[in-house]
């Protein structure tokens, strides 16, 4: 009797553990799917019209995932990344609403976990602040961009994204020699597991930024 009862209890505990782990596993898979779809749309060949439509669909999926998982900093970060990328592809003043929505997603993520995804919310917010127009059109601010980009770098000093966006910001500021150093560090970043397509695409963007910086200083 005791052995039977113990076996039943163990089975119950194991079943409970598996059941409790399922939502987290499902969320992780959903986030990985968003990452993969984002990279394919952004870095593989699509017409401009196709890219806009595909990103719109992906943005709706990202919103739904973040809404269903309000305590997930990672889901909010990817909502912000996808919304801001969609805005960049769409362009014009009509994209400003998407950028503001992305900003809120990043800010909510920081309140939950500022170190999630190696500080990606800081880096992403910083990139928004230097690329979005300032007042009265938008919320852009080079001062805030620098603050957030440096916070992202402090958390992930060797990352490809943290260094790329900081290097791009330095070009924006006319600091070309410093940009060269930062962008070279971006090229040396270690590969990210499961992010081969994104890494390949980002490295091409880093190389383009390097050409701009070198051109400006006569190299």
CA angle centred on 197, ends 156 and 208, rounded to 5° = 70
Confidence at 92, pLDDT banded by 50, 70, 90? confident
pLDDT higher at 59 or 6: 59
Confidence at 110, pLDDT banded by 50, 70, 90? very high
Asked if the peptide bond before residue 160 counts as cis, ω within 30 degrees of 0, the response is no
Check if the beta carbon of residue 165 is closer than 8 Å to that of residue 126. yes
Q: Is the pLDDT of residue 89 over 90?
A: yes
Fill in the DSSP letter of residue 135. T
Q: How far apart are CA 12 and CA 159, in angstroms?
A: 43
Round the average pLDDT of the chain to a whole number and report it.
90
Task: Give me the helices (H) in the chain, please.
Answer: 2-43, 48-68, 73-90, 96-112, 120-131, 142-155, 160-172, 176-187, 196-216
Q: How far apart are CA 167 and CA 173, in angstroms?
A: 10
- Summarised one tens digit per residue, pLDDT across range 12-45 is 333 333 334 445 789 999 999 999 999 999 999 8
Q: How far apart are CA 209 and CA 127, in angstroms?
A: 14
Q: Which residues contact 130 (CB under 8 A, 6 or more apart)?
A: 140, 141, 142, 145, 149, 169, 172
- 219 Cα distance to chain centroid: 32
Confidence at 1, pLDDT banded by 50, 70, 90? very low
Angle between helices 96-112 and 120-131 (to 10 degrees): 150
Check if the beta carbon of residue 203 is closer than 8 Å to that of residue 188. no
CA angle centred on 217, ends 152 and 198, rounded to 5° = 40
Mean pLDDT of 99-108: 98
Q: Is the pLDDT of residue 109 over 90?
A: yes
Owner of token pair 């400006």: 216
Three-state DSSP state, 185: helix
Confidence at 126, pLDDT banded by 50, 70, 90? very high
pLDDT of 23: 54
pTM (two decimals)? 0.87
CATH topology of domain 32-145: 1.25.40
């Amino acid at each position: 009797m005791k052995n039977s009862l113990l076996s039943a209890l163990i089975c119950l505990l194991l079943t409970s553990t598996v059941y409790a782990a399922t939502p987290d596993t499902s969320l992780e898979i959903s986030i990985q799917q968003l990452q993969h779809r984002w990279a394919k749309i952004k870095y593989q060949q699509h017409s401009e019209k196709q890219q806009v439509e595909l990103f719109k669909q992906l943005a709706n999926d990202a919103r739904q995932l973040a809404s269903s998982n309000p305590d997930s900093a990672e889901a909010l970060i990817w909502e912000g990344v996808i919304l801001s990328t969609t805005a960049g592809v769409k362009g014009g003043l009509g994209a400003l609403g998407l950028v503001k929505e992305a900003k809120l997603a990043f800010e909510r993520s920081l309140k939950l976990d500022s170190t999630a995804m190696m500080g990606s919310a800081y880096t992403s917010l910083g990139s928004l602040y230097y690329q979005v127009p300032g007042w009265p059109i938008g919320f852009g601010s080079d001062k805030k961009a620098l603050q957030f980009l440096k916070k992202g770098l402090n958390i992930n000093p060797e990352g490809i994204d943290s260094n790329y966006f900081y290097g791009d910001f330095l070009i924006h500021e006319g600091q070309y020699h410093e940009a060269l150093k930062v962008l070279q560090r971006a090229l040396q970043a270690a590969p990210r597991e499961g992010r081969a397509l994104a890494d390949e695409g980002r490295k091409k963007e880093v190389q383009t930024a390097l050409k701009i910086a070198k051109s400006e200083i006569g190299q």
